[in-house]
Chain A
């Protein structure tokens, strides 16, 4: 089933969810690798080029995530998700709504802050070498420093929220033994 039903997510929502999750994991890996390479001494040309290559991939994936975030948000407006299980305590419902809202916000804020950062540092974003994205702001060193800090702060926030998100899903599955996680898994048969 492509669209969501009253009891589970449809294939479109599931595909978007896991694709974005996978890309986000890749982003953390690339960012950390780039930081690791960036700290290497001495900073030879090949070290600089390796960092350049890692960051170029990171930027391209980031824009991909931004595009998928637009699709994701559009899809959510068009196809509302299944309601939370009956009997779920109100505080848990609020937690779920808050974390999901935060993740949607970060899904946009992170790539946009990165794009701004690339503009301010005068290292524009190229989408996989195909075309260069326009700069959102002009080159500005002090603005760049602020944007770097913002991008890192947002990344840390997303990491924390994602950990809570995963922990909650596992709690629902193994402790509450309900269908919350199952609803997002494509191979589970129809839930009654």
Chain B
């Protein structure tokens, strides 16, 4: 009887001690709770010499970013390619065709970043992987993060080379009519949550 009690006591003690101890691996930064109503992804492109802008209507962002823990930070963004909106039905339809985003085969554009560094003027930089049309392209992204209480605001930009991403091939490749560079602007508002 005494032996069984001792075993039980030891088991209970072990469980209690282990649950109270910090885990052996370093906890990653908390997952941002993205406020989709206040967040947006827009882009600026040039067509026939004129700069115009459009917006991504559907995207999802899994962000674990902590300025004090860059090593553990990560970001994972999934964009619905069909949700690109330039306020013109014909242009939006063209963007979904094979020569452009080829949405029927590649419905999701992804952006994944795991290596972050501090840049100048309170900004951060990362070179993430942009997944478009089966390609994975190194894409620099520069951004700032401001914090008010437990609300975080991220603003960042990236410049994309549409030819490198095979966006607008064939007859669309002429950059005199559709500019080669596209500027992407990101604005994310979130609350930090745990785990």
Task: Mark A residues whose CB is within 8 Å of B.
Answer: 44-46, 48-49, 52-53, 55-56, 121-126, 128-130, 132-133, 139, 141
Known interface pairs A45-B172, A48-B94, A139-B87; A125-B177 also in contact (CB < 8 Å) = no
CB distance from A35 to the nearest CB of B (A): 15
Contact between A44 and B171, CB atoms less than 8 A apart: yes
B49 on the interface (CB 8 Å rule)? yes
Contact between A49 and B87, CB atoms less than 8 A apart: no
Task: Mark B residues whose CB is within 8 Å of A.
Answer: 47-54, 86-88, 90, 94, 99, 170-172, 174, 177
Contact between A45 and B48, CB atoms less than 8 A apart: no
Contacts of B52 in A (CB 8 A): 122-124
Contacts of B94 in A (CB 8 A): 45, 48
Partner of A56, one of B48, B54, B87, B171: B48
Contact between A53 and B177, CB atoms less than 8 A apart: yes
Contact between A132 and B49, CB atoms less than 8 A apart: yes
The answer for the CA separation of A44 and B94 in the assembled complex, in Å, is 10
Contact between A126 and B50, CB atoms less than 8 A apart: yes
Contact between B88 and A55, CB atoms less than 8 A apart: no
Contacts of A55 in B (CB 8 A): 48
Contacts of B50 in A (CB 8 A): 56, 123-126, 132-133
Contact between B177 and A126, CB atoms less than 8 A apart: no
Residue of A44, A46, A132, A133 contacting most chain B CB atoms (<10 Å) = A132
Contact between B172 and A121, CB atoms less than 8 A apart: no
A–B Cβ pairs within 8 angstroms, 7 of them: A45-B94, A52-B47, A53-B177, A122-B54, A123-B47, A124-B50, A139-B87
Contacts of A121 in B (CB 8 A): 87-88
Contact between B88 and A123, CB atoms less than 8 A apart: yes
The answer for the CA separation of A55 and B49 in the assembled complex, in Å, is 12
The answer for the CA separation of A46 and B47 in the assembled complex, in Å, is 14
Contacts of B90 in A (CB 8 A): 48
